[in-house]
Amino acid sequence: MAQQKKSSTLGYIVVITLVLTALYVFFNPSPQSPEKVTLDTFLSDINSEIVETIQVSSNKIDYTTTGGANFYTIKESGQTLSEVLATVDPAKTDGIAMEVIDTTSNNIWMELAVSLIPFILIIGFLLFMMKSAASSNNQALSFGKSQARIADPEKKKTTFKDVAGAREAKEELIEIVDFLKNPSKYTSMGAKIPKGVILIGQPGTGKTLMARAVAGEANVPFFNISGSEFVEMFVGVGASRVRDLFKKAKRNAPCIVFIDEIDAVGRHRGAGMGGGHDEREQTLNQILTEMDGFEQDTNVIVMAATNRPDVLDPALLRPGRFDRRVVIDTPDIEDRTEILKIHTRNKPLAKNTELERIARQTPGFSGADLENLANEAAILAAKNNKKSVTQHDLEISIEKVVMGPERKSRVLSAKEKEITAYHETGHAIVGHLLPECDPIHKISIISRGMALGVTWFLPEEDKHLYSKTKFENELASLLGGYATEKMMFGEVSTGPSNDLERATKIAHKMVTKYGMSDLGPTIFGDNNDEIFLGKDFKHMRTYSEEIASKIDAMVRSIVEKALKQATEILKKHEKQLHEIAKTLIKEETLDRKEFIKLFDTTSTLNLKLP
């Protein structure tokens, strides 16, 4: 509305102005254009004293008379006004206002301007070119600038409260926080402030989170860069990025520089396959130089994270560099409960949820896995239009995270279903009867991910040590599926392939890594992943051909012994095998209680375990 009003007012003003102008022009005819007269007339007008003003520009002389009329006349070029008036009595010109307009100089300026225009244009163009060249140059140069991101101070700070568990790690890091807050407390005692802290832990255990929390607790800036960002396609970029990063950091001290995934640059120097390690070496050298170059009172603490401390260059870890090592463990059951609490804080949980039970069912989950689990549960609840996230949502999400989503679309034929049911029952029965196997949690023949069925064992508590018997029992249970197929159908399908692979790996480790075979307590190193990490790929094998064949034989005998054990158990419990497999075909899923009930009611034999 207001807009419209304004524009209509404007319209009126324009119209009125136009009308007024027209009226003015109409009633106020412009002064008569000057009439041309001869030079003589001009002089005689002066002599008769009727000239009031004279204006000379170039060869033209304009003059007005006392009657208000305008005239003009032309003089010879080069003649000045006083020369023109030479013949007139000076007394006659006394009262005349004379003005000479200097047109010649005007013209010179005009001419100069005109002739300069092309130059001006050219210079402008050149300047423009230079400027744009410079800016693209800048872009090329900024490759060497670190891409470190500084955490936004406006954003909510991460603190130790956001990191659940990891008590020991926190305790060590509290010290670092104190260094950053009160450096003088330590320097006055002659203590050196640590320069580097390396956080070691499996992926997803919260290393990055922890580093952020340290910065948040100390309330200092946090420069965050990933090791892989140092290694780009241009040689020398890494080193210059490091220089730049440290320069920035020193300007912002006290602060934390966080180098994530430091193993990308910090591997053993002088090793590694493939190209590009020179660049890495330079980058690493630059980091070391920068850290050595810190003044005693430079309050910059470099934190780094890795999940492969074993491949790091020893020079990184020596005193005065990353000499503080903080291990962040995979969370235990209590920590898992805490982490779940943190990640369900902003989700409406049903009243009867027991996060501790979820924690119990998720051994080996990292913080990131648990976060994912909580998120999946929330998605599931939302999908079903529920008001809150229930225990059931959480439990289903565990299965989804562990085994991939159920694939209801994959339809098994009756025969496939039967084979799968027997196979899984085989695993379950052997696992159930062997003392060192974890309790059964669930058996299912709903296909998930790549697997057609699954038998899920769940330990009562987190385990840190494994005995030889435990490995043997697990091998037997792993081979339970294979044994059943062979027993029931006379031949095996491709189903147990994954079981066999895992069994072979376990047996191989027992022999070469844990000293759990007749070959004695020697480690036979041919850890394959070292090849990729380039630590010592020249000495891939530290043993002779003879030992190699002994290892093979040993692995085979361990696996075969397990298969025999599994077959014996299954033969003795054939009745249960049939009963449970049939129920499984009907029900598709059995939980722990249902399985045990079925097993016990069909049990006739009282087995004496081998």
The catalytic site residues sit at 424
Contact window for ligand ADP (CB under 6 A) among 40-48, 160-168, 183-191, 536-544: 160-168
Question: Which of ligand ADP, Mg ion, Zn ion, none does residue 481 bind (CB under 5 to 8 Å by kind)?
Answer: Zn ion
User: CB 469 → Zn ion: shortest distance, Å?
Assistant: 21
**Residue 394 amino acid letter:** L
Question: CB under 5 to 8 A by kind: which of Mg ion, Zn ion, ligand ADP, none does 573 bind?
Answer: none
Q: How far apart are CA 480 and CA 23, in angstroms?
A: 112
Nearest partner of 309 among 322, 290, 291, judged by Cα: 322
Residues that bind ligand ADP (rule: CB under 6 A) add up to a total of: 18
Binding mask 114-153 for ligand ADP (x = CB under 6 A): ----------------------------------------
Size of the site for Mg ion (CB under 5 A): 1
Shortest distance in whole angstroms from residue 197 CB to Mg ion = 15
Minimal distance, residue 355 CB to ligand ADP, in Å: 13
CA distance 164 to 187: 32
Residue nearest to ligand ADP (CB): 367
The single-letter DSSP state of residue 28 is S
**DSSP letters of 312-326?**
B-HHHHSTTSS-EEE
Scan residues 461-490 and list those touching Zn ion (CB under 5 A): 481
**Residue type for 251, please?**
R
In which order are the strands placed within the sheet that holds 454-457?
454-457, 440-444, 589-591
Min CB(394)–ligand ADP separation in Å? 16
Interhelix angle 468-489/545-572, rounded to 10 degrees, is 60
Residue 328 CA to residue 204 CA, distance in Å, equals 10
Binders of ligand ADP among 355-384, rule CB under 6 A?
367-368, 371
| 322-341 residues near ligand ADP, rule: CB under 6 A | 339
Comparing every residue's Cβ against Zn ion, the nearest one is 481
Name the DSSP letter for residue 267.
B
Site string for Zn ion, 489-508 (x = CB under 5 A): ----------x---------
Give residue for tokens 């002739």. Answer: 115
Does 207 bind ligand ADP (CB under 6 A)? Our answer is: yes
Chain Cα centroid distance, residue 16? 65
163 binds, among Mg ion, ligand ADP, Zn ion, none (CB under 5 to 8 A by kind): ligand ADP
CB of residue 340 to Mg ion, shortest distance in Å? 20
Strands 222-226 and 440-444: unpaired
d(CA 259, CA 83): 91
Select 211 or 488, whichever has its Cβ closest to ligand ADP. Answer: 211
CB 193 within 8 A of CB 177: no
Tokens 């956080």 appear where?
A: 199
- Picked from Zn ion, Mg ion, ligand ADP, none, the partner binding residue 216 (CB below 5 to 8 A depending on kind) is none
| CA distance linking residue 442 with residue 448, whole number of Å | 14
Our finding on whether 165 is near Zn ion (CB under 5 A) is no
Q: Is 321 in the site for ligand ADP (CB under 6 A)?
A: no
Binder of ligand ADP out of 56, 85, 148, 165 (CB under 6 A): 165
| Cβ at position 259, least distance to ligand ADP in Å | 12
Interaction between residue 227 and ligand ADP (CB under 6 A): no
Q: Could you say whether residue 567 binds Mg ion (CB under 5 A)?
A: no
363 binding partner (options Mg ion, ligand ADP, Zn ion, none; Cβ < 5 to 8 Å by kind): none
Total Cβ atoms within 10 A of residue 451 = 18
- For 305-314, letters b (16+ CB in 10 Å) and e give bbbbbebbbe
Match 């066999």 to its residue by tokens: 500
Q: How far from each other are the two terminal CA atoms of the chain, in whole angstroms?
A: 95
Candidates 327, 342, 458, 500: give the one binding ligand ADP (CB under 6 A). Answer: 342
Q: Is 431 in the site for Zn ion (CB under 5 A)?
A: no
* Residue 437 CB, nearest approach to ligand ADP (Å): 30
Most distant pair of Cα atoms in the chain: their distance: 156
Site string for Mg ion, 205-244 (x = CB under 5 A): ---x------------------------------------
| Cα separation, 193 vs 171, whole angstroms | 17
Are residues 376 and 417 in contact, defined by beta-carbon separation less than 8 angstroms? no
**Nearer of residues 371 and 472 to ligand ADP, judged by Cβ:** 371
Count of residues engaged in binding Zn ion, rule: CB under 5 A: 2
**How would you class 604 by CB atoms within 10 Å of its CB: exposed for 0-12, middle for 13-18, buried for 19 or more?**
exposed
Taking the least distance from each CB to Zn ion, the nearer of 56 and 421 is 421
Q: Which helix (H) or strand (E) holds 70?
A: strand 70-74
DSSP 263: G
Q: Which does 166 bind (CB under 5 to 8 A by kind): Mg ion, ligand ADP, Zn ion, none?
A: ligand ADP
> Cis (ω within 30 of 0) for the bond into 254?
yes
Judged by CB under 5 A, the chain residues 171 through 210 that form the site for Mg ion are: 208
Site residues for Mg ion per CB under 5 A: 208
Site residues for ligand ADP per CB under 6 A: 163-166, 201, 203-209, 305, 339, 342, 367-368, 371
Site residues for Zn ion per CB under 5 A: 481, 499
